Amino acid sequence: MDHHSRRDLSNPGTLIEGACLPPDASLRRFLTGVLPQVSRELRKWHKQLDRCYDLSLRKQASASLNRKRFHSQGGSFFALYNPPWTRQLAALIVALQTIGDYLDNLCDRGGIYDEAAFRRLHQAMLDAVSPGLGITRDYYRFYPARNDGGYLKALVDECRSHVSALPSYAAVHAEVLRLVALYNDLQVFKHLAPPVRCSRLKRWFREKGIVTAPPVYWWEFAAACGSTLAIFALLAAATAPHTGREEVKEVMKAYFPWVCGLHILLDYWIDQEEDRHGGDLNFAACYASPAEAAQRLHLFLQRALAGVSRLPHPGFHRTIVRGLLAVYLSDPKVERQGFRQAARSLLAAGGAETGSYYRSCLMLRRLGLL
């Protein structure tokens, strides 16, 4: 990457120009430094659950920490954007992602379809990125379970403490709030009863009046809203004191809907068989044919790579995009569903470095680390 700043590590408040590491160094730092910290952070939140006396909430919180740790691990790659801020960014990303994963479980596994309950729960996500709010809400007001022993509040407080310390958070705050609000909308609507959820998602898309060139389908917009990557990219950018409106605008143009859409569409694409058997809504299955799905994935990839190449430190962001391809396309589900040819085409379109990341992911999967 092409950051040129360094920071006096003995003084966390002193940022001098510089940051990102070369790709190979980033991968080593991620495996040896960031991932162990992510594990420590997740253990910390497991420990926090000792105070949770509601068995249903404790079960869902534990399940999200255990089965969705991959989300925190992947998102924490952004902690490498500015190495002097790695520890703070990793802790923030894990806490914010953990809120999202926990609430997703509560909405998905609770056996209810209450829009008011889902909306109130997800207020925690907005509060988490709103430093100085100074209020405590009852996030479980409309939910049938509530005694989490302060677990959700502790996560919210952790996020607030970290975002308030970011040098340029004021520059990114409005867009972070917008992205979180869209994420919340998606979580609310997609967890409604099956007979109504698609119609609500379509109406929401029309109401938002999203205009992109080229245009996107409603399910592609919904997929993009389900990714936290743009939020993490903005939080990473906020670690630099010089981040301004133009950079924020370019991050948004690159990440939303293109990088975010690629992220979640790949996730749904490899889960089609699993979701079909489970009767779950799958956005990749909304395409008219497998050929169209592959074509649109190529479009999102092309737009994502072009967009991030215009950002400061483009090499870092290209690593994010290529890493998405490597992680998802190395999953055994690709082979099982007969997607090998389409996957090879996407890997080739990602460029030579993508193949290297892909082989690394295959090795990590063989070792049971991915």
Q: Residues near 318 by Cβ (< 8 Å), separated by ≥ 6?
A: 305, 308, 309, 351, 353
Res. 364 pLDDT band, cuts 50 70 90? confident
pLDDT of residue 9 exceeding 50:
no
Q: Is the residue at 4 inside a domain? A: no
Asked if 62 and 89 sit in the same domain, the reply is: yes
Asked if 151 and 194 sit in the same domain, the reply is: no
Asked if 263 and 321 sit in the same domain, the reply is: yes
- The per-residue pLDDT for 131 is 93
Average pLDDT for 58-83? 96
Average pLDDT for 325-339? 97
The model's pLDDT over 349-358, given as tens digits with 9 standing for 90+, comes to 999 999 999 9
Q: Is the residue at 207 inside a domain? A: yes
Domain boundary among 131, 165, 199: 165
Asked if 67 and 157 sit in the same domain, the reply is: yes
* Average per-residue pLDDT for the chain: 91
Asked if 203 and 221 sit in the same domain, the reply is: yes
The model's pLDDT over 190-210, given as tens digits with 9 standing for 90+, comes to 999 999 999 999 999 999 988
Asked if 82 and 195 sit in the same domain, the reply is: no
- The per-residue pLDDT for 16 is 29
Asked if 161 and 182 sit in the same domain, the reply is: no
Domain boundary among 119, 135, 165: 165
Average pLDDT for 159-175? 97
- The per-residue pLDDT for 134 is 74
Q: Is the residue at 12 inside a domain? A: no
Asked if 306 and 286 sit in the same domain, the reply is: yes
pLDDT of residue 6 exceeding 50:
no
Q: Is the residue at 9 inside a domain? A: no
The model's pLDDT over 215-260, given as tens digits with 9 standing for 90+, comes to 999 999 999 999 999 999 999 999 999 999 999 999 999 999 999 9
Asked if 315 and 207 sit in the same domain, the reply is: yes
pLDDT of residue 163 exceeding 50:
yes
pLDDT of residue 13 exceeding 50:
no
Asked if 301 and 361 sit in the same domain, the reply is: yes
Q: Is the residue at 13 inside a domain? A: no
Res. 28 pLDDT band, cuts 50 70 90? confident
Res. 111 pLDDT band, cuts 50 70 90? confident
pLDDT of residue 81 exceeding 90:
yes
Query: How many domains are there within the chain?
Result: 2
- The per-residue pLDDT for 24 is 63
Q: Is the residue at 16 inside a domain? A: no
- The per-residue pLDDT for 278 is 86
pLDDT of residue 31 exceeding 90:
no
pLDDT of residue 10 exceeding 80:
no
More confident residue, 18 or 105: 105
Average pLDDT for 42-65? 97
Asked if 88 and 179 sit in the same domain, the reply is: no
- The per-residue pLDDT for 223 is 98
Average pLDDT for 91-109? 95
Structural domain span for residue 121: 24-165
